[in-house]
Amino acid sequence: MNLKRMIPSAGPLILILIVVCPLDAGDNSPLKANVSANYYSKYIWRGQNVNDTSVFQPYISGSIHGFTGSVWGNMDLTDGSQTAPENGGRFSEVNYTLDYSASVPGTKRMGFSLGTIHYRFPHTDAESTTEIYGALSCDVLLKPRLVWYRDVDEVDGSYIQAAIGHSFEKALKWNKDYYVDLLVGGSVAWGTSGYNRGYFGIDGGRFNDLTLVVSAPVSLKHLSVIPTFNFSSLLSESIGNATFERNNIWFGIGFSKSF
């Protein structure tokens, strides 16, 4: 990994985050849990069209004192997946994540995350792999976030994502327990030469995907219903030509409950 090449790419956003975030101390989080069940018309991962047909993606997590452990899965609902054909009704991916998130010491609105993701691909020919990651975020306008993912197993490369988003809280409201938020966000990502070679067979670092998301979570007191609309485009023509579909539009709806 060439740190001299990576630091200039991340440096400007890190500097902005440090400058705009006021100083103060952070808090620890209480015990929390979340479960969700989500349907999507496609499975798109980092701009890559993994499955062009319907999928079901459940998720469960538990958090305490800044640590979060979670399990996420992708079940193909048809036999039409280009990466796992004739796999309808079975899981093609299960991810295990361990994350630690907290405020940056001495700051009020700047946060960081450190974690690892282990990817398993049952009922496919793909090999399991593991990534580590680090993130910086800031609770100011557009909530900028920078995440650096580094594969430590199958792919000798990194994926760096910069994201922004905004929440219009209670855009529609019936009472304190029943309301609709509106969330909009976008991200752009860079893949190093090793990352692009491992996933696409292409040498050289270059921009990977631009992704835009609009969602409207509906709070129903004890349950949230979350419709989403998504667009993603692979910015590099050579990477786009090496994948199943360069530009993708898909929608989803999920049900989520926190404890």
Q: Where do the domains of the chain lie?
A: 3-258
Please determine, for residue 110, whether its predicted confidence score (pLDDT) is greater than 60. Answer: yes
What's this model's pTM, rounded to 2 decimal places? Answer: 0.87
150-155 long-range contacts (CB < 8 A, ≥24 apart) are: 150/1, 151/195, 151/198, 153/128, 153/129, 154/127, 154/128, 154/129, 154/198, 155/129, 155/194, 155/195, 155/198, 155/199
Residue 68 has pLDDT above 70, yes or no: yes
Those residues with Cβ within 8 angstroms of residue 86's Cβ, 6 or more apart along the chain or in another chain: 79
- The pLDDT score that the predictor gives to residue 30 is 84
CATH, domain 3-258, list 3.40.50.720, 1.10.760.10, 2.40.160.40, 2.40.400.10? 2.40.160.40
| pLDDT tens track for 118-127 | 999 999 989 9
Name the pLDDT band for 28 (thresholds 50, 70, 90). low
pLDDT band at 20 (very low <50, low <70, confident <90, very high): very low
- pLDDT tops 90 at residue 184: yes
Measured at the CA of 71, the angle between CA 66 and CA 77, to 5 degrees, comes to 150
Examine the pLDDT at 3 and tell me if it is beyond 50: no
